[in-house]
């Protein structure tokens, strides 16, 4: 006898948004590429919500004292940033992982992919302290694996809780070991060069998607593709949101 699935209840944030009495918006027709889309009140509410969230971000960044919005809902709960690049971990990736160290495409790719597989600032700081600045030239599997295993043995977490990375299901191999081997394989197969030579974002996406333990969700959350018309320093992710992979010089 199968157990009954628990009923999902709307979050308090969603209830508050839906309970607010606002004048319904008239339906409008939008042209997105070649598709005609009929919008609804929910569509307009979503974009008003996102716009106000971003305004609050700008007010906070400018040093304005709270509250950063007159909306009664937003101060009561935590909401994600409108742009992924604005969150704390992405800023660490852009300002430290990517900006510090050699800026050639191979080195930038190595540091970026290594960081995003774990997606935890503490893990990056640990590897820096134990192994020096991570680079493809100085990388040694035994050193990296030893530092991570030691941290796990002491009860430290090495992965972010934001999403769960697959383990690879290799018998006798722990997840972090499989991920280090994955990075090794990408570098041995010269993935940075192949990405840089990609003629389209789709081609770059397909190259990364072809590796084990790399899924669609992770690729839409991580800086992973290159605009072939830009220089190798302007690798970007284009999915539902934009996140800079290779930040502009001095940025």
Q: What is the DSSP string of 74-138?
A: GGGS----SSGGGSHHHHHIIIIIITSS--SHHHHHHHHHHHHHH--HHHHHHHHHHH-S--TTT
Tell me the CA end-to-end span of the chain in Å, nearest whole number: 58
Which residues, other chains included, contact 185 with Cβ-Cβ below 8 Å and sequence gap of 6+?
211
The rounded Cα 202 to chain-centroid distance in angstroms is 18
Could you identify the residue written with the tokens 């800079």? 244
Q: How many domains does the chain have?
A: 1
pLDDT of residue 190: 94
**Per-residue b or e along 129-160, where b marks 16 or more CB atoms closer than 10 Å to that residue's CB:** eebeebebeebeeeebeebbeebeeeeeebbb
Q: Does 65 map to a domain?
A: no
pLDDT of residue 231: 28
pLDDT of residue 236: 33
Asked if 118 contacts 124 with a C-beta cutoff of 8 angstroms, the reply is: yes
Q: Does 22 map to a domain?
A: no
pLDDT of residue 152: 96
Interhelix angle for 105-118 vs 175-188, to 10°?
A: 160
Q: Does 204 map to a domain?
A: yes
Q: Is 55 exposed, middle or buried (0-12, 13-18, 19+ CB in 10 A)?
A: middle
Which residues, other chains included, contact 233 with Cβ-Cβ below 8 Å and sequence gap of 6+?
103, 108, 246, 247, 248, 249
- pLDDT (tens digit, 0 to 9) for every residue of the chain, 251 residues total? 555 544 545 455 445 444 444 455 555 666 666 777 778 888 888 888 889 999 998 998 899 998 888 888 888 888 888 887 788 888 898 889 988 999 888 998 899 999 989 999 999 999 999 999 999 999 999 999 999 999 999 999 999 887 777 776 666 689 999 999 999 999 999 998 888 888 877 788 888 888 888 876 655 554 433 333 332 323 333 222 223 333 333 43
Asked if 94 contacts 201 with a C-beta cutoff of 8 angstroms, the reply is: no
pLDDT of residue 155: 95
Give me the domain span that covers residue 167.
84-244
Q: Does 135 map to a domain?
A: yes
Q: Does 71 map to a domain?
A: no
Asked if 118 contacts 158 with a C-beta cutoff of 8 angstroms, the reply is: yes
Q: Does 232 map to a domain?
A: yes
Report how far residue 69's alpha carbon sits from residue 12's, in angstroms, rounded to the nearest whole number.
19
Smallest CA-to-CA distance from 248 within 238, 236, 106, 237 is with 236
């Amino acid at each position: 006898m199968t157990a009954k699935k628990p009923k999902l209840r709307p979050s308090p944030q969603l209830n508050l948004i839906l309970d607010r009495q606002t004048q319904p918006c008239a339906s409008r027709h939008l042209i997105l590429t070649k598709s005609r889309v009929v919008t609804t009140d929910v569509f307009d509410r979503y974009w008003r919500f996102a716009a106000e969230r971003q305004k609050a971000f700008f007010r906070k960044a400018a040093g304005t004292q709270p509250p950063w919005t007159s909306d009664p809902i937003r101060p009561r709960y935590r909401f994600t940033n409108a742009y992924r690049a604005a969150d704390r971990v992405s800023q660490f990736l852009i300002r430290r992982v990517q900006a510090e160290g050699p800026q050639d495409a191979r080195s930038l790719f190595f540091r970026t992919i290594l960081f995003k597989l774990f997606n935890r600032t503490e893990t990056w700081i640990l590897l820096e302290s134990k192994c020096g600045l991570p680079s493809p030239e100085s990388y040694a599997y035994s050193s990296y694996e030893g530092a991570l295993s030691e941290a796990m043995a002491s009860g430290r977490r090495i992965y972010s809780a934001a999403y769960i990375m697959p383990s690879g299901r290799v018998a006798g191999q722990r997840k972090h070991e499989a991920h280090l081997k994955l990075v090794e394989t990408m570098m041995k197969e010269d993935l940075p060069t192949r990405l840089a030579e990609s003629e389209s974002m789709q081609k770059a996406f397909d190259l990364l998607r072809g590796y084990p333990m790399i899924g669609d969700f992770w690729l839409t959350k991580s800086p992973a593709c290159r605009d072939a018309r830009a220089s190798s320093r302007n690798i970007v992710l284009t999915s539902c949101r934009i996140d800079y992979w290779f930040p502009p010089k001095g940025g």
